């Protein structure tokens, strides 16, 4: 008699040496894979091609689920061992309304990968033929598989028994050609997100300002024009705000300009600006030692911008886009900027440095001004792990959105929902703007705890003029966030899918 087991899932084993994942599609038909997977809805019996597979086992469905406790609830599994070393894994898909949104299919792909990894199988066929499994839904399922498969384990010394090798997943679907097209259309966003994860996860000793520059130059293979401004050029431009942050570090500052020309000549570009503090000690206003290692991720905004430009170029997006990232390291030393120092930004605005740990806005002040002054973009969006205050306000589920333009803000909110990278709009007003005024300079870079994320945004707004602009404070979502179905890594790569969705939905065509 065939044995039926209901497996209570334990955490996946230690990271595999190889993260290779091959995803194919095939029509419903003969299955030769060592492991076959199909879904059953809550309270239901196998249907579609899953019913054919189950019937071939010769087992009684009612007896099997009674023995295993399987009811089809989301997350449940029933593992069936077959003669010849073959195996069936039946997964609960929950209620019929459980997979109504595309983002739920992304999560479903992540959950599926977790279960596949636990089986340690390498040749897998997955039947997905339910009515809601549209090509777009299956592209999200494939995206979830790839995103969940990601591990940042390059610095681990793996044991020999961890070496499972590459995994091949064949999706058995009703229209393989349509699904292949949809998966290919989604793949560029996944790769951009994984690039952002890689950059954020790298330790600061391996990814300084110059190493980050080299990573951006790799985008030239995709047709991206990469321009790098070195310290002497930044000094000539008068970028005193950005330069003062770098004064305490042996690593030189760099401003990187990435240009993708996919639109028509003369079309206004879409501009994206990222904070790239490769490590942030706080400078003279030094941070507490606890969890300071997380500050290797203070370049999460720059990572997202780099991942986005990679995405747009990879899929040949029909737009002109600019990615500008300010790369510095904030360190305490005899040459570091001091609290009370006054610096002049590229715009001519003088800034009193109250707190050297409010450094990201100083970097962005010059990067934003340079971008709007040189490129005259259609809009300008900056991303930055800017304030701890936004985590107090929103936790790790939403990034803060600040904008001077209602239309752009609404577009971003919608894109965030569609990409499952959610935003929450926060206020800007003249009342908050008064708080950043300084006794000794035009403005000051810190006003203390009250409305900390809002006053930081008011500071940035001084450097955008009248261009439609949005500031995304991603301090709570760029790294260290709670693990989702599609991410077990420290950094989720937040922002790439969101901004790619914005461009696709509102600025192409």
SS (H, E, C) 47-85: CHHHHHHHHHHCCCHHHHHHHHCCCCCCCCEEEEECHHH
Quick one: which H or E segment has residue 328?
strand 320-330
- According to DSSP H, which parts of 219-333 are helical? 231-237, 240-246, 300-314
Q: Which of 86, 87, 215, 287 is catalytic?
A: 287
Which residue(s) pair with 40 in the sheet? 92
Q: Which of 361, 444, 462, 504 is catalytic?
A: 361
All residues at 6 or more sequence positions from 492 whose CB lies less than 8 Å from its CB, including other chains: 193, 197, 477, 478, 479, 481, 484, 486
Are the C-beta atoms of residues 462 and 365 closer than 8 Å to each other? yes
* 134, 397, 503 from 101: Cα distances, Å: 11, 18, 20
3-state DSSP call for residue 467?
Answer: coil
Catalytic (active site) residue 344: no
User: Kind of pairing, strands 399-403 and 469-473?
Assistant: antiparallel
Which residue(s) pair with 423 in the sheet? 399
In degrees and rounded to multiples of 5, residue 102 shows phi and psi of -65, -35
Catalytic (active site) residue 251: no
Q: Give CA–CA dist 86/121, Å, rounded.
A: 11
User: Kind of pairing, strands 87-92 and 77-81?
Assistant: antiparallel
Handedness of CA 35, 38, 42, 44 (dihedral sign): negative
Q: Give CA–CA dist 11/9, Å, rounded.
A: 7
How many Cβ atoms from other residues are within 10 Å of residue 164's Cβ?
15
* Strands laid side by side in the 443-444 sheet: 342-344, 350-352, 443-444
Active site residues: 287, 361
């Amino acid at each position: 008699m065939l044995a039926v087991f209901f497996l209570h899932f334990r955490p996946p084993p230690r990271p595999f040496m190889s993260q290779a994942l091959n995803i194919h599609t095939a029509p419903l038909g003969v299955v030769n894979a060592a492991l076959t997977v199909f879904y059953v809805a809550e309270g239901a019996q196998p249907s579609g091609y899953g019913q054919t597979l189950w019937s071939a086992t010769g087992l009684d469905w009612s007896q099997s689920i009674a023995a295993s406790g399987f009811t089809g609830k989301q997350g449940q599994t029933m593992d069936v061992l077959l003669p010849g070393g073959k195996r069936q894994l039946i997964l609960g898909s929950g209620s019929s309304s459980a997979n109504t949104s595309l983002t739920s299919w992304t999560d479903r792909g992540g959950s599926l990968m977790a279960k596949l990894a636990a089986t340690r199988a390498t040749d897998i066929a997955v039947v997905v033929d339910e009515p809601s499994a549209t090509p777009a839904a299956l592209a999200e399922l494939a995206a979830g598989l790839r995103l969940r498969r990601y591990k940042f384990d390059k610095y681990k010394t793996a044991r020999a028994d961890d070496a499972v090798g590459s995994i091949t997943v064949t999706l058995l679907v009703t229209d393989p050609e349509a699904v292949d097209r949809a998966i290919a259309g989604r793949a560029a966003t996944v790769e951009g997100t994984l690039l952002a994860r890689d950059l954020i996860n790298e330790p600061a000793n391996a990814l300084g300002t110059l190493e980050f520059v080299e990573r951006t130059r790799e985008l030239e293979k995709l047709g991206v024009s990469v321009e790098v401004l070195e310290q002497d050029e930044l000094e000539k431009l008068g970028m005193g705000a950005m330069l003062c942050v770098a004064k305490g570090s042996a690593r030189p500052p760099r401003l990187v300009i990435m240009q993708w020309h996919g639109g028509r000549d003369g079309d206004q570009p879409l501009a994206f600006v990222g904070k790239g503090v490769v490590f942030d000690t706080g400078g003279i206003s030094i941070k507490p030692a606890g969890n300071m290692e997380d500050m290797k991720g203070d370049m999460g905004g720059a990572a997202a911008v780099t991942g986005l430009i990679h995405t747009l170029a990879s899929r040949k997006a029909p737009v002109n886009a600019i990615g500008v990232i300010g790369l510095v390291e904030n360190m305490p030393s005899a040459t570091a900027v001091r609290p009370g120092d006054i610096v002049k930004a590229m715009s001519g605005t003088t800034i009193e440095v109250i707190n050297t740990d409010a450094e990201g806005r100083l970097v962005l002040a010059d990067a934003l001004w340079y971008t709007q002054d040189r490129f005259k973009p259609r809009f300008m969006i900056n991303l930055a792990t800017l304030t701890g205050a936004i985590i107090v306000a929103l936790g790790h589920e939403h990034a803060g959105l600040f904008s001077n333009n209602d239309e752009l803000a609404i577009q971003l909110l919608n894109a965030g929902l569609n990409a499952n990278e959610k935003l929450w709009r926060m206020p800007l007003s003249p009342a908050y703007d008064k708080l950043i005024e300084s006794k000794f300079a035009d403005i000051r870079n810190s006003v203390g705890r009250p409305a900390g994320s809002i006053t930081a945004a008011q500071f940035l707004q001084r450097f955008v003029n009248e261009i439609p602009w949005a500031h995304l404070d991603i301090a709570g979502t760029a790294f260290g966030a709670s693990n989702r179905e599609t991410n077990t890594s420290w950094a989720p790569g937040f922002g790439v899918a969101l901004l790619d969705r914005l461009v696709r939905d509102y600025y192409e065509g």
